[in-house]
């Protein structure tokens, strides 16, 4: 938006008045479109919004190139001595260079590059008929090489960013999400569930008597038990479930679009699989607290976690190796489904 109007003075000393007016109007239009894009992307939340914004970004640049190309009337690029005209000739390289700005997947980067070259081939047709065809081919070849390098840079950028995110968000011992990244995911899932009025269950897990493993067998043995327990939790989880290492021997499982009964079935299945063995050969057990967002009246995700945590302590108070499910009560203070859920333990 800022850069496009800066070329007014160069156009004034380079082109005739009619061409200058045409380019000036075009520059103002491009600046307005970029300003609209700037404010428009702030409300985008989905990948579709991101793709749309990316497409508009390149469409604005390519539209400007398409509009100024017929005005140049350059038949020999090596004969260009004017600074402004040379800048217009280099503009396509600026456009293809913008691909490297964005972290793109292979599919996204290749598709962007292909669409760019389709437009470039159409634009080259707009060059004067007496323009050297070898120079046209040369421009296209150099753009191809530049585009491939920029595509590689975009893909590499995404790979590097994903590695950094993995290092920052994944707990190295358990391969579960760390607490910091887990809190962000819970916040997002909580808001989605609330906006769509869909169930969203949260399970709080605490391994029973874990401190005794560290005290008796050492922290390395405790780490092995934690890693095995986390592996079994992941093995039991669905693709949409999210597992977070909350701290120490505590885990949180997020089950989107799942009510308390569905979460209870999942935890029963997990208990059948088992959480591994302790160094003395005994089975690792845990206390589980389950809550569904639709069953509680809370305004934020942290309150939901607190309720699941309290349910876990309730299971722990019964001797551990148990499940406690939060259920809403009726007007008489009784839970109409409690008898079914108590049987979970």
Cβ–Cβ contacts within 10 Å for residue 113, how many?
20
| Beta bridge mates, 200 | 256
Contact 69, 126 (CB under 8 A): yes
Q: Are strands 286-292 and 200-207 parallel, antiparallel or unpaired?
A: antiparallel
Cβ–Cβ contacts within 10 Å for residue 236, how many?
19
> Cα-flanking dihedrals φ and ψ of residue 239, to 5°?
-65, -30
User: Nearest CA to 160 among 234, 102, 103?
Assistant: 103
Distance CA 258, CA 93 (A): 50
Instruction: For residue 250, indicate whether it is catalytic.
Output: no
Helices (H), the chain: 8-14, 17-40, 47-72, 83-97, 106-125, 133-169, 179-196, 210-217, 219-236, 260-273, 301-317, 338-342
- The residue from 129, 183, 184, 249 that is catalytic is 249
Looking up tokens 């009025």, which residue turns up? 197
Kindly state the tokens that stand for 51: 């793709």
At residue 105, the 3 state secondary structure works out as coil
Distance CA 268, CA 341 (A): 11
- The residues annotated as belonging to the active site are 249
């Amino acid at each position: 938006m800022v850069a496009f109007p800066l070329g007014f003075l160069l156009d004034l000393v380079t082109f005739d008045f009619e061409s200058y007016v045409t380019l000036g109007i075009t520059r103002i239009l491009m600046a307005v479109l970029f300003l609209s894009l700037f404010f428009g992307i702030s409300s985008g939340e989905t990948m579709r919004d991101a793709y749309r914004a990316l497409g508009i970004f390149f469409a604005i640049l390519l539209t400007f190139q398409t509009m100024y190309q017929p005005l140049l009337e350059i038949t020999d690029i090596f004969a260009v001595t004017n600074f402004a005209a040379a800048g217009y000739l280099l503009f396509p390289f600026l456009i293809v260079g913008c691909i490297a700005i964005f972290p793109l997947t292979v599919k996204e980067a290749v598709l962007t590059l292909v669409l760019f070259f389709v437009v470039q081939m159409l634009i080259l047709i707009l060059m004067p008929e007496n323009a050297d065809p070898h120079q046209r081919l040369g421009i296209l070849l150099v753009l191809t090489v530049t585009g491939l390098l920029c595509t590689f840079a975009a893909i590499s950028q995404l790979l590097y960013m994903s590695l950094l995110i993995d290092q920052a968000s994944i707990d190295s011992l358990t391969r579960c999400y760390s607490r910091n990244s887990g809190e962000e995911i819970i916040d997002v899932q909580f808001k989605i569930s609330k906006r769509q009025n869909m169930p969203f269950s949260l399970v709080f897990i605490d391994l029973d008597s874990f401190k005794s493993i560290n005290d008796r067998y050492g922290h390395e043995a405790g780490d092995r038990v934690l890693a095995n327990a986390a592996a079994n939790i992941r093995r039991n989880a669905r693709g949409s479930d999210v597992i977070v290492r909350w701290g120490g021997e505590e885990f949180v499982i997020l089950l989107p679009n799942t009510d308390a009964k569905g979460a209870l079935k999942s935890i029963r299945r997990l208990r059948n699989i088992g959480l591994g063995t302790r160094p003395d050969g005994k089975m690792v057990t845990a206390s589980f607290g389950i809550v569904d967002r639709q069953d509680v009246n809370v305004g934020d995700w942290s309150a939901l976690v607190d309720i699941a945590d309290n349910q876990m302590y309730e299971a722990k108070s019964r001797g551990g190796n148990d499940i406690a499910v939060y259920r809403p009560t009726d007007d008489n203070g009784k839970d109409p489904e409690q008898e079914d859920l108590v049987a979970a333990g």
